[in-house]
Amino acid sequence: MKSTWLPILAAANLLQPLEKRDTGQANAVMSKELNGVLGKLYQVISFPEGGCPDWEGMAKLFLDCARITRITPEARDEFDVDGFQAMLSELLESGVYTSFFECEVGRRTETFGSMAHVLSAYETKRDAAATARLGAGVNSIQLVREQGTWRILSLLWDEGDSHLAFSPEQFQNMEIHYGQTR
């Protein structure tokens, strides 16, 4: 049903960012909370030359049962948070990366009650000052709101060939809230 209606809504220019629509204070609060989590996510995974990701900060953002999934041309890798840290540490120690900078450049969010699904367009750079990007893509993030806090249940991204043709500038921001938050 959604797939039937979304193009029509989009064509009618009804899928504007939430703040342009009168969706109520609860949704505005939810948007702010999600903004905080997403902002923090990109902050904890980025680090300058000689540094490392903010492991503690990362652990706080994810649920204990969270899954992190990376699709590469060679394979699909699935991790829990500790496993992901071990993999990143291996990449850092072996010098595959010496710094990392990733920032969000667009977002589509859909929520229903205590669950949220975010498609977050990103770009990676050599460092924050770099003029060209190393890569770009989309993070698919599922979040759950428990005890007043949004935490990440799943983080999934594709490092395959699709990123080569992807332009984050074309990514349209969108926010839809179905139902009411608790």
Partner 1 sequence: MAKPGKSPTTYQFARSRVVQTVERIITEGREEGMIWHNSKDSFGRFLEKDGKTLLNFASCSYLSLHLHDDLKAGAISAIERFGTQFSISRMYYQCQLYTDLELGLGRMTGGHVLVTPSTSLAHQAALPVLVGDDDLAIIDQFAHASLHVATKLLASTPVIRLRHSSMEQLESYLIEHGSKYLKIWYICDGLYSMRGDFAPFAHLARLQAMYPQLHLYVDDAHAVGWHGCNGRGAALEHLPQSDRTVVALSLNKSFSAAGGALVFSRQELKDRVHMCGGPLIFSGPVQPPMLGAAVAAAHLHLSPELARMQAELMHRILYARDLADRMGVRFVSQDATPIFFLPHDSPQWARAAARAFWSEGIYVCPVNFPAVPVNMPGIRFSITLHNDFSDIDRFMEIALRLQPG
Summarize as ranges the residues that interact with partner 1 (CB under 8 A): 50, 67, 72-80, 82-83, 86-87, 89-90, 93-100, 125-127, 129-135
CA distance 44 to 29: 23
Q: Listing from the earlier edge strand, what are the strands of the sheet with 174-178? A: 76-79, 62-71, 149-158, 135-146, 115-125, 101-112, 174-178
Compare residues 90 and 146 and give the one whose CB is closer to partner 1: 90
Choice between 9 and 59, CB closer to partner 1: 59
Instruction: Please check whether residue 116 is in contact with residue 150, taking contact to mean a CB–CB distance below 8 angstroms.
Output: yes
- Taking the C-alpha atoms of residue 4 and residue 60, their distance in angstroms, rounded to an integer, is 37
Give whichever of 98 and 167 is closer to partner 1, judged by the CB atom.
Answer: 98
Nearer to partner 1, 15 or 152 (CB): 152
Q: Which two tokens stand for residue 158?
A: 């594709």
Nearer to partner 1 among residue 19 and residue 127 (C-beta): 127
CB of 144 to partner 1, least distance (A): 17
- Closest distance to partner 1 from the beta carbon of 87 (Å): 4
- Minimal distance, residue 71 CB to partner 1, in Å: 11
Residue type, 30: M
In angstroms, give the least distance from the CB of 119 to partner 1. 22
* Distant-in-sequence, close-in-space partners of 16: CB < 8 Å, separation ≥ 6: 174
Q: Which is nearer to partner 1, 63 or 87 (CB)?
A: 87
Neighbouring CB atoms inside 10 A of 43's CB total 16
- What is the nearest approach in angstroms of partner 1 to the Cβ of residue 146? 21
To partner 1, the closest distance from the beta carbon of 50 in angstroms equals 7
Identify residue 139 by its one-letter amino acid code: N
CB-side exposure of 69: number of CA atoms within 13 Å? 13
Residue owning tokens 């989309």: 138
